Chains A and B, each alone.
Chain A
């Protein structure tokens, strides 16, 4: 499998990372060498192997249905890049 520039741009779009046109070339080279390395896995036949879902052999632990959090708006908003007392603020979303 080799990754071309278009594919990389598409993946970058999915990951919401803008990629400098100037850097696409070297990125393509790096990613292809990494994927060449990764694809060693194709040597292995894993048809009959169950994929691992969790390394821990236990069931999901649950908590009681109690209100134990919230009402910390100031803390939640304190680090936000655009200040507002009640909301997070982002550039207009165009639907």
Chain B
């Protein structure tokens, strides 16, 4: 049959269920795609043999009642996978083979899917362009000079290039939504605590959340349903009943109140982003939603706050990479301290080191109050902004990013301009809220742009419904030429 790898996950599942294609055929199709897409540098590790075995097992004994029957899935290389190398895009974990499976990936496999390979990402998820990976840049299928966004850049590229039917990423300050926006795909950062963090290489514990990256909203609902759920191994996991996001997906949004925050109209924002936002508002309004102007007054402080909180937590989370128990160890260390210093200097890349230094500094004696404590106070204010607004609205609509995908190397010499890419995505992480980036159009270069829907805590169903209605009426089609194969 014809290549179905350009279909949505939901369509592919239907094709498998109706036996139009077997899991083995499907897996082989992806293997073929992946092998001809090496230029994109999307995969750190492939697990084809293992995947084909699993596909065969599925075909021999299919269970079509599962959410992800016989689906081969590639995942970000930040999820620990049992007996498969897990690098977090870093030299320091270059040779690390976990003996355990992250809760989120295990949930996916328990729903009938299996691992196709591990996707490149920014080192320890620190980056907005996938240029900090030890394994090299990832190329955006949208254009050979473009970054795919970050840190889940391998995930967004793989998805947009039809190298996996759906995938998962992690989002600490926008690492799912920004790459989704840059590649014309859907990305959801769930409410903090909805998906277990157990077995995910940690960046900033109070901000990290795993989430789905898919081609459509329906796919997103399916993946979220499969991956989420309470985990007693994670003390920050929320104990609540499992939702059936895909079954409950509705496109009727009549009467919903959509907040439009004035602070998201920033200086120097390209006209097209603003126009797209207007287009989004109009579509929702036409569908019967009510638009309400709101104010989130501390928005401009979100990014500075983030660049204290996230590095502080990271500096501590990354202290375990010391060359003692796993990972890279420098051969130069004569004594223990020297071994640490050389190992960490050689094992971490520049951006990671930069953030560890920032984090160490803001927590150090004499500076804690001025930086870390201050940031946690501002974080309280940012959260309060959202809490206040959500008393009168159902969701918030904003652009996902202040621009479309930029060129490789364009921002690498100016960390602050790189950080500014996350200006619309970061506040949500600080407040622990769910947010969806959905493709909405293209800019004048033809590069995709996304809009972001922010919901109340645990209101994933509602923003998925709004996204679903939007998607049906937006008319966006992600047309990517396969120039790489």
Asked if A and B touch directly (CB within 8 angstroms), the answer is yes
Complex Cα gap A92–B334 (Å): 8
Evaluate contact between B99 and A11: CB separation under 8 angstroms. Answer: no
Q: In whole Å, how far is A63's beta carbon from the nearest beta carbon of chain B? A: 7
For B305, list chain A residues within 8 Å (CB): 41
Complex Cα gap A61–B324 (Å): 31
Q: In whole Å, how far is A91's beta carbon from the nearest beta carbon of chain B? A: 5
A40, A54, A94: the one within 8 Å of B206 (CB):
A54
What count of chain B residues pass the 8 Å CB interface test? 69
Which residue of B has the minimal Cβ distance to A53?
Answer: B376
A5 part of interface (Cβ distance < 8 Å): no
Main secondary structure of the interface of B (DSSP, over half): helix
Evaluate contact between B378 and A41: CB separation under 8 angstroms. Answer: yes
A4 part of interface (Cβ distance < 8 Å): no
Known: A56-B236, A79-B327, A92-B335. A38 touches B378 (CB 8 A): no
Which residue of A has the minimal Cβ distance to B373?
Answer: A51
Main secondary structure of the interface of A (DSSP, over half): loop
Stretch at the interface among B175-183, B342-350, B464-472: B342-350
Known: A17-B356, A46-B377, A75-B99. A38 touches B304 (CB 8 A): yes
Q: In whole Å, how far is A49's beta carbon from the nearest beta carbon of chain B? A: 4
A18, A46, A92: the one within 8 Å of B374 (CB):
A46
Evaluate contact between B329 and A37: CB separation under 8 angstroms. Answer: no
For A54, list chain B residues within 8 Å (CB): 206, 236
For B340, list chain A residues within 8 Å (CB): 16
B308 part of interface (Cβ distance < 8 Å): yes
Complex Cα gap A33–B358 (Å): 12
A22 part of interface (Cβ distance < 8 Å): no
Known: A44-B301, A46-B374. A80 touches B324 (CB 8 A): yes
For B232, list chain A residues within 8 Å (CB): 61, 63
Stretch at the interface among B104-112, B269-277, B379-387: B379-387
For B28, list chain A residues within 8 Å (CB): none
Q: In whole Å, how far is A79's beta carbon from the nearest beta carbon of chain B? A: 4
Evaluate contact between A19 and B345: CB separation under 8 angstroms. Answer: yes
B446 part of interface (Cβ distance < 8 Å): no
Chain A, range 12-58, C-beta contacts under 8 Å to B: 12, 14-20, 27, 30-31, 33-35, 37-42, 44, 46, 49-56, 58
For B192, list chain A residues within 8 Å (CB): 55-56
Evaluate contact between A15 and B304: CB separation under 8 angstroms. Answer: no
Q: In whole Å, how far is B331's beta carbon from the nearest beta carbon of chain A? A: 10
For A72, list chain B residues within 8 Å (CB): 99
The 5 closest A-B CB pairs, nearest first, are A79-B326, A51-B376, A55-B432, A81-B329, A18-B341
**A residues within 8 Å of B by Cβ?**
1, 3, 7-8, 11-12, 14-20, 27, 30-31, 33-35, 37-42, 44, 46, 49-56, 58, 60-61, 63, 72, 75-76, 78-82, 88, 90-94
What 17 additional pairs, Cβ within 8 angstroms, besides A41-B301, A94-B336? A11-B364, A15-B357, A17-B344, A17-B345, A17-B353, A18-B341, A19-B345, A31-B357, A38-B304, A44-B381, A51-B379, A55-B432, A80-B326, A81-B323, A81-B324, A81-B326, A93-B336
